[in-house]
Chain A
């Protein structure tokens, strides 16, 4: 049992650090959730990809460095410590790509992954519907068979990044006659600019169009954009959800860096007693999250799968993130009300954490039923 990194891993870390030092913008980019900021973040993705830093754990064939999970953890520590921009490609990279690696065809990987890695194609997710939130399997958007593909009709909502993204992925009902709601669903990718798609941006709490509603009216999707077998979408999506909730949606590096910044802020403000415990707890929580992730990564690298334990992870980081950013705003005093600080942006972003990727209520149900073995009951 050890926490040591190999010489190669440390060399990789040093290389990442030195690249980031030379390339991270000195002036923060405009908010990712605005048209101008989205474009600036897309350009940053291209700059990362140019030197193969956008997807370090992917195979080199698709633009990665074969750095593995450990390399990814080290890169993320350096990335966030360097104060580098948010990742506009995150939805594709952490949700769709793992699904393609597990369930896609070689043709799909070769076609979809390189432009995802460079930011040329930015992906949005299309899971929720007006009547299907936590009970996702009750979704009603449908895909009807047509010559050479499918015609999508229905409505998706709370689609993160969709206001400015290029393509989306989600579940559609291809067989309405199945016995159970999670049967007869198919996992599809589609173009947000295709005929029949209407994107209506939704302003989040601070007014920025961070997500959108999608209205789909007989949108054609070719067969080549179906992932896995038609009708197997639920199983495939749940493996994505496992990834999403699992190791790679939120890296420890993100919170280690945020906690250090909070400590700096606290000290700058004269180390006030009223936030002392919360600042200490933020530092400790970041370390706990790092070591928890290292333990999970070690199990994963040892051949174990990350199953319902990923729900522990999701509840932890989402609540941690809110506590940390709330503390920062409290420390800012009067300035804490100001909407154009980096802390305000982080705070508003953090508020969504317990809601997306499976609400924390659903995660707690999973922990209780699948890890503790408690009986199923009415939600």
Chain B
């Protein structure tokens, strides 16, 4: 047992941090939220040059082969800098394409994903993240209207009511596909969206409602979703941990310089203890994530997702409270991380779905 990062892994993390620190992500994020992807695309390409997307692409297609530990480390950094875009979806899409029986789509699409020329999104449910700017739009959804029990759910009130649109279950960016539906699922290369994005609590996450019936080029009627969905969960969890780490760092810096009653508010025990609890929660999420990256078991990945997202969200609440009113403004950059902590909690595996996975795990669970 040597459950430690090796020097190459530490260097990789450090170089991504340096790249992203230099990139001025708050400007990129705000542009992205307005639909201007110029800065985001340029950053995407630098991330690809650093090897981030190649970590999910097999070697024959110009990748480095699937490297879950390095992907996890990369996504912690992406979360720390709140990088926008379908990052998780690109990784999941690459793994999905690589796993198809027919090597045609992989040959055609994967080299450009590894090099960063192409961006992919993937949906298994009601929304496709950033489908307007993605070059490859994968839809892995049931061929027919979803399960009757799911169809009976009321439509989200704010969703545009398109003719051919119906709620399609708790999947897509909202969560992973329910178990046992893989057989009924079809994988399509979908056309660009013809509707505007649906507003998200995290403005940098542009959600495009999916159509009632999947359309576009049918790739397979039996997509191998297990590994792609596990990776989506794992990288979302890693992103969440990164978001939480930055929220903690920024709040620690703030309470050291904000003075009230003649002393930095960070010297008050009521403030210290909230931050200590955030630190504890984040530090216990990190080994779960790296452990899940090593084992890639359903239970470990679900445990990591729940723990990292809970820790990040708890840190977001603490960050908001300790910043006071300035933290509640859209103008202050903290908001870019606060809103992401909320959004990632339910993306690719709700807390409930993660707990179900853990409870139904076999023996040995871990």
A residues within 8 Å of B by Cβ?
1-5, 9, 70, 256, 263, 276-277, 279-281, 283-284, 287-292, 294-295, 297-299, 301-302, 309, 312, 315-316, 361, 363-365, 367-369, 371-379
B288 contacts partner chain A, Cβ-Cβ < 8 Å: yes
Q: How far is the CB of B261 from chain A (nearest CB, A)?
A: 11
**Chain B, 239-282, contact with A by CB distance < 8 Å: what is the 0/1 string?**
00000000010001001100000011011110111011101100
Give Cα A315 to B280, complex, Å. Answer: 8
Contact of B99 with A by CB under 8 A: no
**Pair B3/A291 contact, Cβ less than 8 Å:** yes
- Give chain B residues whose Cβ lies under 8 Å from the Cβ of A315: 276-277, 280
Whether A280 contacts B284 by the Cβ 8 Å rule is no
B153 touches A (CB below 8 Å): no
For A361, the chain B residues whose CB sits under 8 A away are 269, 273
Instruction: Tell me the smallest distance from the CB of B111 to a CB of chain A, in Å.
Output: 28
CA distance A375 to B255 in the complex (A): 10
From B4, B263, B276, B355, A295 is in contact (CB under 8 Å) with B4
Do the beta carbons of B287 and A364 come within 8 Å of each other? no
Residues of B within 8 A of A379 (CB): 269
Name the CB-closest residue of B to A375: B267
Q: Are B287 and A292 in contact (CB under 8 A)?
A: yes
Is B366's CB within 8 Å of the partner chain A?
yes
Max count, chain B CB within 10 A of own CB: residue among A276, A287, A369: A287
Which one, B210-218, B299-307, B326-334, B338-346, is touching chain A? B299-307
Contact of A374 among B255, B283, B359 (CB under 8 A): B255
A369 to B272, CA, bound (A): 8
Cβ-defined contact, A1 with B256, below 8 A: no
Closest A residue by C-beta to B311? A288
A81: min CB distance to chain B, Å: 10
Q: In this complex, what residue of B is CB-closest to A363?
A: B276
Q: B290 touching A377 by the CB < 8 A rule? A: no
Cβ distance A71 to chain B, nearest Cβ, rounded Å: 11
State whether the Cβ of B163 lies closer than 8 Å to any Cβ in chain A: no
Q: Flag B337-366 by CB within 8 Å of A: 1 or 0 each.
A: 000000000000000000110110000011
Closest 3 pairs between A and B when the two form their complex, measured CB to CB: A377-B267, A368-B272, A291-B287
Is there an interface contact between B358 and A280, defined as CB atoms closer than 8 Å? yes
Interface CB pairs A-B, < 8 A, 12: A1-B2, A2-B294, A283-B359, A291-B291, A298-B1, A315-B276, A374-B252, A374-B272, A374-B275, A375-B256, A377-B263, A377-B272
Q: Are B358 and A365 in contact (CB under 8 A)?
A: no
Contact of A284 with B2 at beta-carbon distance under 8 Å, contacts A276-B359, A369-B272, A376-B267 already known: no
Q: Once bound together, how far apart are the Cα atoms of A281 and B6, in whole Å? A: 30
Across the interface, name the chain A residue whose C-beta is closest to B300: A287
* A375–B264 touching, CB < 8 Å: yes
Complex interface: chain B residues within 8 A of A287 (CB): 288, 291, 299-300, 303, 365-366
What is the CA–CA distance of A379 and B269 in the complex, to the nearest angstrom? 7
In the complex, the answer to whether A288 meets B288 with C-beta atoms within 8 Å is yes
Q: Which B41-89 residues sit within 8 Å CB-CB of chain A?
A: 69
Q: A374 and B267: CB pair below 8 A?
A: yes
A3 touches B307 (CB 8 A): no
Partner of A288, one of B256, B284, B356: B284
B222 at interface by CB-CB < 8 Å = no
Closest beta carbon of chain B to A365's beta carbon, Å: 6
- Are B303 and A284 in contact, CB atoms less than 8 angstroms apart? yes
| Identity of the chain B residue whose Cβ is nearest the Cβ of A280 in the assembled complex | B355
Closest-by-CB residue of B relative to A294 is B3
Q: What is the bound-complex CA distance between A316 and B276, given in angstroms? A: 11
CB distance from B349 to the nearest CB of A (A): 13
Contacts of B295 in A (CB 8 A): 3
Instruction: Tell which of A4, A70, A289, A312 has the most Cβ of chain B within 10 Å.
Output: A312
B21 at the binding interface (Cβ < 8 Å): no
Partner pick for B359 among A280, A309, A365, CB 8 A cutoff: A280
Say if the beta carbon of B5 comes within 8 Å of chain A: yes
Q: Which residues of B contact A256 (CB under 8 A)?
A: 366
